[in-house]
């Protein structure tokens, strides 16, 4: 197959699966050429081919658009509607059993929270680790304790600065993955009994930490495209005395929603009006599919109230456990808490990542990773359309690697999870993402896995889901 035919096939898959829908603008020739690593003339040839098949059409001086007549067969889910009540949380047993299944290596890991190892530059990372160990000066180890290695903090700050987010190396504390940053943030600003506003559905670790620290949660409704419902959040602030808000503004786990920039600004100023800190989890921010990095809510933080957490776990080096936090006005209490709990993040891992970032190939790796994830999303959505029961709804995130699927109401996702495991396929059942029963018929699927395994795994899950439909 020629290059332009392969590119045309990829884009056709995105159209058929509804990732690009009728009326959407196709990427510009320049964007598509950078994104897919092909020449502009290859993109032109691919677009001519798609035009001849009636899938896209050129509009004068405006570029190519997906033909309006192409209907999206798989609908997307609507906004979520949890009851906005403060509750004690109890999800841990279930979450631990799901995490246990992620430790098994010879199954299709559609329930995992990480992409497949094949998608990471493992050899280059190993070289960086070897160099870091060979050349590092053991007597300087103390200098790498919390807040962390300065070269690494500078390299992270530079990435933010280049994207238009004002951050200096002195604002950053290196942590053991984002998870530790999130935990330190929550501990720095709460005491037992406080109420935390979280997304519904939301990241299970937020629920676990809330449970562990004896806090209460209020689940806020979400729009699967645009994130938190801000008027529900303001109602909750007025009625429940919220102590902090925890959310993901980019490619939320599990819905994949991306909060638009204007809405991020509004969120930050709404919380600042009530002096409420925002814990922002941005571990998927680098995995965007368009041409522009989606700046986090931290960009708009003028009061130091946003505690922004991220890491390299999802985009570069999962096992290294290197993350960071920008704690704003809570810097000193977070720094001391980190010193008191683990002293510092692993020094060899910090040095290795500082070395890797200095080599200059991170952006090239990210471009490849994003491209693989975007085309695997299309592949998975198409397979869901072919094999899942009628009536399923599926999200189409513009980044990250999760799809959220609403199955027919009578399908019990925990049963589907158990039966899929028996067929050597892992998936993440809806109930781990909430302390309500609202998502008992939903699942989260990871499309960042081995591309060749996706269709077969989806076919099996689809067959099991058909069998679980209960006629009422
Ligand atoms: C939403 C979200 N935040 C944070 C984390 C944890 O990141 P790390 O592995 O860097 O601790 C995960 C990993 O599963 C995640 O999905």
Q: What is the pLDDT of residues 64-79, one digit of tens each?
A: 998 877 666 688 899 9
Give the pLDDT confidence score for residue 10 in this predicted structure.
Answer: 86
pLDDT score recorded for residue 89: 72
The encoded tokens of residue 181 equal 């940053």
On whether both 222 and 334 belong to a single domain, the answer is yes
What is the 8-class DSSP label of residue 198? E
Residue 66 alpha carbon to ligand 1 centre in Å: 35
Cβ–ligand 1 contact at 7 (below 6 Å):
no
Ligand 1: nearest atom to the Cα of 248: 1
Which of 26, 44, 66 is the last residue before a domain boundary? 66
Half-sphere exposure of 40 (CA within 13 A, CB side): 4
Domain identity same for 330 and 199:
yes
Q: Is residue 127 part of a domain?
A: yes
Asked whether the beta carbons of 87 and 435 are under 8 A apart, the reply is yes
Answer whether residue 329 is part of any domain: yes
Question: How many Å apart are CA 244 and CA 278, to the nearest integer?
Answer: 6
Nearest to 281 by CA among 206, 365, 381: 206
The answer to whether residue 17 sits within a structural domain is yes
Does 178 sit in the ligand 1 pocket, CB within 6 Å?
yes
Nearest CA to ligand 1 atom 7: 178
- Chosen domain end from 42, 66, 90: 66
Distance CA 121, CA 455 (A): 25
* pLDDT at 350 > cutoff 80: yes
Same domain, 32 and 135: no
Last residue of a domain, one of 43, 66, 89: 66
Test site for ligand 1: of 98, 174, 179, 209, most ligand atoms within 8 A of the Cβ: 179
**pLDDT of residue 296 exceeding 60:** yes
- Same domain flag for 151 and 291: yes
pLDDT(43) > 80: yes
Contact 292, 306 (CB under 8 A): no
Determine the distance separating the centroid of ligand 1 and the alpha carbon of 427, expressed in angstroms.
17
In a domain? residue 418 = no
Same domain for 34 and 125, yes or no, is: no
Per-residue pLDDT tens digits for 134-177: 877 777 778 899 999 999 999 999 999 999 999 999 999 999 99
Yes or no: say if 286 and 315 are a contact pair by the CB < 8 Å rule: yes
Q: What angle is formed at CA 34 by the lines to CA 31 and CA 37, rounded to 5 degrees?
A: 140
Least confident of 5-14, 67-76, 151-160, 304-313: 67-76
- Assess whether the C-beta atom of 311 lies below 6 angstroms from ligand 1: yes
Residue 429 lies in a domain: no
d(CA 203, CA 255): 10
Ligand 1 neighbour 323 (Cβ under 6 A): yes
Question: What is the Å distance from ligand 1's center to 353 Cα?
Answer: 18
Residues 291 and 142 reside in one and the same domain: yes
Do 148 and 259 have their domain in common?
Answer: yes
- Structural domains in the chain (count): 2
Is there a single domain that holds both residue 43 and residue 172? no
Do residue 197 and residue 58 come from a single domain?
no
Residue 264 lies in a domain: yes
- Is the C-beta atom of 446 inside 6 A of ligand 1? no
In angstroms, what is the span from residue 135 Cα to ligand 1's centroid?
A: 31
Nearest CA to ligand 1 atom 6: 179
How would DSSP label each residue in 313-378?
TTTT-GGG-EEEEE-GGGHHHHHHHHHHHTSSS-HHHHHHHHHHHHHT-HHHHHHHHHHHHHHHHH
Q: Which atom of ligand 1 is nearest to the CA of 203?
A: 1
Q: Does 410 have pLDDT greater than 90?
A: yes
What domain range includes position 150? 121-359
pLDDT at 272 over 80: yes
Q: What are phi and psi of 151, to 5 degrees?
A: -60, -40
Sign of the dihedral defined by the CA atoms of residues 89, 91, 93, 99, in that order: negative
- Nearest-atom number in ligand 1 for the CA of 180 is 11
Residue 178 CA, ligand 1 centroid: distance in Å: 6
Does 166 share its domain with 28?
A: no
Atom of ligand 1 nearest to the CA of 323: 10
Question: Among residues 280, 377, 374, which one has the least CA distance to residue 328?
Answer: 280
Cβ–ligand 1 contact at 355 (below 6 Å): no
Co-location of 26 and 141 in the same domain? no
Distance 312 CA to ligand 1 centre (A): 10
Check which CATH number belongs to the domain holding 165 and give it: 3.40.640.10
pLDDT at 319 over 60: yes
Across the chain, what does the average pLDDT equal?
92
Which residues have a Cβ under 8 Å from the Cβ of 315 and sit 6 or more positions away? 286, 287, 366, 369
The answer to whether position 425 is within a domain reads no
- Residue 349 Cβ < 6 Å to ligand 1: no
Positive or negative CA dihedral for 398, 263, 199, 322? Answer: positive
Same domain, 175 and 304: yes
| CATH classification at residue 58 | 1.10.10.10
């Amino acid at each position: 197959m020629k290059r332009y035919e392969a590119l045309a096939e990829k884009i056709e898959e995105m159209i058929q699966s509804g990732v690009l829908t009728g009326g959407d603008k196709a990427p510009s020739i320049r964007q598509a050429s950078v994104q897919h690593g092909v020449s502009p003339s290859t993109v032109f040839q691919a677009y001519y081919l798609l035009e001849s098949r009636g899938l896209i059409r050129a509009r004068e001086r405006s570029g190519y658009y997906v033909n309006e007549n192409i209907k999206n067969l798989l609908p997307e889910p609507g906004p979520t509607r949890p009851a906005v009540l403060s509750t004690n949380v109890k999800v841990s047993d279930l979450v631990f059993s799901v995490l246990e299944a992620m430790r098994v290596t010879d199954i299709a890991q559609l329930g995992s929270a990480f992409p497949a190892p094949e998608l990471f530059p493992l050899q280059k990372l190993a070289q960086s680790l070897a160099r870091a160990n060979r050349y590092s000066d053991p007597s300087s180890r103390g200098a790498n304790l919390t807040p962390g290695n300065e070269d690494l903090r500078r390299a992270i700050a530079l990435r933010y600065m280049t994207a238009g987010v004002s951050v200096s190396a002195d604002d950053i504390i290196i942590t053991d993955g984002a998870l530790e940053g999130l935990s330190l943030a929550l501990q720095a600003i709460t005491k037992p009994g406080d109420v935390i506003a979280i997304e519904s559905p939301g990241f299970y670790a937020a629920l676990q930490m809330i449970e562990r620290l004896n806090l209460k949660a209020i689940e806020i409704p979400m729009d699967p495209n645009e994130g938190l419902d801000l008027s529900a959040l303001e109602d909750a602030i007025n009625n429940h005395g919220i102590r902090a808000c925890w959310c993901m503004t980019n490619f939320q786990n599990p819905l994949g929603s991306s909060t638009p920039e204007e809405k991020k600004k509004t969120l930050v100023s709404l919380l600042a009006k009530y002096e409420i800190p925002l814990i922002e989890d941005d571990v998927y921010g680098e995995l965007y599919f368009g041409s522009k990095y989606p700046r986090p809510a931290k960009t708009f933080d003028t009061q130091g109230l946003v505690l922004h957490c991220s890491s390299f776990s999802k985009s570069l080096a999962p096992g290294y456990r290197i993350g960071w936090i920008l704690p704003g006005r809570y810097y000193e209490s977070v720094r001391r808490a980190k010193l008191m709990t683990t002293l510092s993040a692993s020094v060899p891992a910090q040095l290795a990542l500082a070395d890797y970032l200095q080599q200059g190939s991170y952006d090239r790796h990210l471009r490849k990773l994003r491209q693989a994830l975007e085309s695997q999303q299309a592949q998975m959505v198409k397979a869901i359309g072919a094999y899942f029961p009628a009536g399923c709804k599926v999200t189409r995130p513009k980044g990250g690697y999760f799809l959220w699927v609403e199955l027919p109401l009578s399908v019990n996702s925990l049963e589907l999870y158990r039966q899929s495991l028996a067929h050597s396929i892992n998936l993440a059942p809806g109930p781990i993402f909430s302390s309500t029963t609202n998502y008992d018929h939903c699942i989260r699927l990871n499309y960042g896995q081995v591309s060749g395994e996706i269709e077969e795994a989806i076919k099996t899950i689809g067959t099991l889901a058909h069998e679980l439909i209960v006629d009422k």
